């Protein structure tokens, strides 16, 4: 029997929401502060997946200017009813501290790969909402409730009707479930089967105690009983599993009647250690007999690295090239920017054909206007490299190759200048908790060199940078750096204080002009190469 290899969506693709429309499967995942918002992956066989689009592509849909790290787009819910695709999402504005600002929106389209509507504001009382389309035509919005009183935070699950004609929620929100003993109850999805309303939940927190739980009721309004073998999927009791943090999931039925669950996982570098590839998406086959609770096909409740595939015709996608020569007029789909869309004002593939021209903006610590594009780190050992032409004339002008987690955690190999522009210098910065260090004893003088090649060898926790004057003749620069600080697990509990950290490591290119002059840099190409195949 053919097998599905987990995770199916590698590198920072959490909170999966899955649907099937005819013979096509689609998964939507969270993107947080990265723009455009909400990744859409497509498959026809549940084995092979391809990133095919993003939903929130305009600032009229998604304005994240100034949002803190790991805020922005949370837990999208993708659904389909009578020819229309629906997507519910949160655009979180603040989360660090007692108060949580979490406005929730709905967008629609009749073409999942086309333009989506401008958003309809639903409410701001919680996050991780979803839309349930009942058989009688009524639609219901369900989400967790934020309760700030006395440090409670998770206030249970609420339900409220959505009127598609009025384009707003109607009636009063009602509490329908307080959560199981696992606590931290969020991410609800509702399904109707055999006269029961089933509700999937994310519980236990999105770390090593995470779980995908299930409850059901004969009424949409409850009361709900808990799955007798709860949770459906979790890694919480087995620290030896390769796939950890299993939880926050969704269910889908194939056209042949088979059921599968998708859910987020993490792949730590060490036993329950740091996950540089962030929270990813995995899949398990589910047995769901009439009137019975769904259970994992292989038994138990732990995620498996290999899963039986459905009896569907295999549909592989063409392997994508690792090198982007910037010879098209549009940006490669794997790149994203921070908080705001790419515009000709700061990035152009047209001004100098065959090059990506980037104009310097604010620092890597800015929540506002950065000139940076990057792609997810999807494998444990990769090499990312680029070719740069840059003529800085002041020390506040920089451009280069960045390994990035958030505004306070990154490693940056870049060209810059001395005070009067008479020297072109190669420097290395490391930022940890906003504390910037310069590991080089002395910057490398590259005055007179027009083309400079930069490379990052990211091997688990070990990150080594290189440069070259002639392509392929790499020279090591700086010490081996700690790449594992670019992870949720490192950032989340620094100095014994919790802070939002929900993304993953990225590799990309950036340009700064802290003088405000918008000095440009030209990048000839960017390459992402997996050095050795991940064993899982």
Domain CATH code at residue 367: 2.60.120.200
Based on the domain organization, do 192 and 332 belong to the same domain? Answer: no
Shared domain check, 395 and 256 = no
What is the predicted pLDDT for the residue at 534? 57
Residue 295 lies in a domain: yes
Residue range of the domain that includes 496: 323-530
Count helices and strands in the chain by DSSP H and E runs:
1, 40
Same domain, 263 and 349: no
Residue 335 lies in a domain: yes
CB atoms within 10 A of CB 123: 18
CA gap 505, 485 in Å, rounded: 9
Structural tokens at position 279? 């929270």
Query: 383 vs 17, 326, 327, 401, 529, CA distance in Å?
Result: 31, 18, 21, 12, 5
Whether residue 317 is contained in a domain is answered as no
Q: Give residue 205's pLDDT.
A: 94
73-115 residue pLDDT tens: 999 999 999 999 999 999 999 998 888 999 999 999 999 999 9
pLDDT of residue 496: 80
- pLDDT at residue number 499: 83
Q: Are 12 and 32 in contact (CB under 8 A)?
A: no
Do both 443 and 297 map to the same domain? no
Residues 50 and 183 both lie in one domain: yes
- 124: number of CA atoms within 13 Å, CB side? 11
Q: Do 285 and 351 have their domain in common?
A: no
Task: Name the DSSP letter for residue 115.
Answer: P
Instruction: Point out the domain boundary residue: 281, 308, 335.
Output: 308
pLDDT for res 536: 46
Active-site residue, selected from the candidate residues 15, 488, 489, 513: 15
Q: Rounded to whole angstroms, how far apart are CA atoms 62 and 54?
A: 12
CA distances from 18 to 43, 133, 271 (A): 11, 15, 30
268, 285, 308: which is the final residue of a domain? 308
Whether residue 287 is found in the same domain as residue 406: no
Q: What is the pLDDT of the chain when averaged over all its residues? A: 96
**Positive or negative torsion for Cα 73, 368, 410, 334:** positive
Q: What integer pLDDT is reported at residue 179 of this predicted model? A: 94
By three-state DSSP, how is residue 6 classified? coil
Query: Catalytic one among 186, 389, 432, 489?
Result: 186
Is there a catalytic annotation at residue 15?
yes
> pTM to 2 decimals?
0.97
Residue 63 lies in a domain: yes
Structural domains in the chain (count): 2
Q: What 3-state class would DSSP assign to 275?
A: coil
Low-confidence residues of the chain, pLDDT below 70?
533-536
Q: 394 and 465: one domain? A: yes
Residue ending a domain, choose from 277, 308, 339? 308
């Amino acid at each position: 029997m053919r097998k599905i290899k987990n995770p199916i969506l590698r590198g920072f693709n959490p909170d999966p929401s899955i649907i099937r429309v005819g013979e096509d499967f689609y998964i939507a995942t969270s993107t947080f502060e990265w723009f455009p918002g909400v990744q859409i992956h497509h498959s026809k066989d549940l084995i092979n997946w391809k990133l095919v689009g993003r939903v929130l592509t305009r600032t009229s849909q998604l304005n994240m200017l100034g949002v803190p790290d790991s805020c922005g787009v949370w837990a999208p819910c993708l659904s389909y009813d009578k020819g229309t695709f629906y997507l519910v999402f949160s655009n979180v504005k603040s989360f660090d501290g007692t108060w949580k600002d979490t406005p929730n929106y709905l967008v629609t389209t009749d073409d999942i790969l086309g333009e989506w509507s401008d958003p309809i504001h639903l409410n701001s009382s919680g996050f991780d909402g979803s839309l349930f389309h009942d058989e009688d035509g009524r639609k219901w919005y369900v989400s967790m409730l934020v309760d700030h009183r006395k440090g409670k935070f998770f206030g249970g699950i609420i339900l409220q009707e959505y009127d598609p004609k009025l384009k707003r929620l109607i009636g009063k929100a009602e509490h329908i479930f307080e959560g199981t003993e696992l606590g931290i109850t969020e991410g609800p999805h509702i399904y109707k089967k055999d006269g029961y309303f089933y509700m999937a939940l994310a519980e236990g927190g999105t770390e090593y105690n995470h779980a995908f739980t299930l409850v059901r009721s004969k009424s949409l309004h409850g009361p709900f009983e808990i799955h007798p073998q709860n949770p459906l999927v979790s890694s919480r009791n087995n620290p030896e599993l390769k796939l950890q943090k299993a939880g926050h999931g969704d269910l889908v039925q194939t056209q042949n009647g088979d059921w599968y669950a998708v859910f987020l996982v993490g792949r730590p570098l060490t036993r329950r250690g740091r996950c540089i590839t962030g929270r990813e998406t995995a899949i398990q086959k589910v047995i769901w007999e009439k009137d019975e609770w769904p259970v994992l096909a292989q038994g138990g409740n732990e995620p498996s690295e290999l899963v039986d595939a459905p009896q569907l015709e295999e549909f592989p996608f063409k392997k994508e090239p690792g090198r982007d020569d910037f010879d098209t007029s549009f940006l490669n789909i794997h790149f994203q920017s921070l908080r705001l869309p790419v515009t000709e004002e700061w990035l152009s593939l047209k001004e100098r054909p065959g090059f990506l021209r980037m104009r310097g903006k604010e620092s890597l610590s800015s929540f506002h206007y950065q000139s940076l594009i990057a792609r997810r780190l999807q494998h444990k050992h990769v090499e990312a490299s680029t070719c740069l032409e840059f003529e800085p004339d002041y020390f506040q002008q920089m451009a280069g190759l960045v390994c990035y987690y958030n505004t306070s955690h990154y490693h940056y190999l870049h060209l810059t200048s001395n005070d009067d522009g008479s020297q072109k210098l190669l420097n290395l910065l490391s930022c940890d908790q906003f504390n910037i260090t310069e590991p080089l004893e002395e910057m490398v003088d590259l005055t007179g060199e027009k083309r400079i090649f930069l490379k990052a060898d990211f091997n688990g926790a070990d990150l080594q940078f290189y440069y070259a004057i002639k392509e392929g003749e790499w020279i090591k620069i700086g010490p081996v750096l700690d790449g594992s600080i670019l992870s949720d697990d490192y950032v989340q509990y620094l100095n014994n204080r919790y802070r939002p950290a929900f993304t993953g490591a990225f590799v990309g290119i950036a340009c700064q002009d802290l003088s405000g002059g918008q000095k440009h840099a030209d990048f000839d190409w960017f390459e992402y190469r997996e050095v050795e195949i991940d064993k899982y």
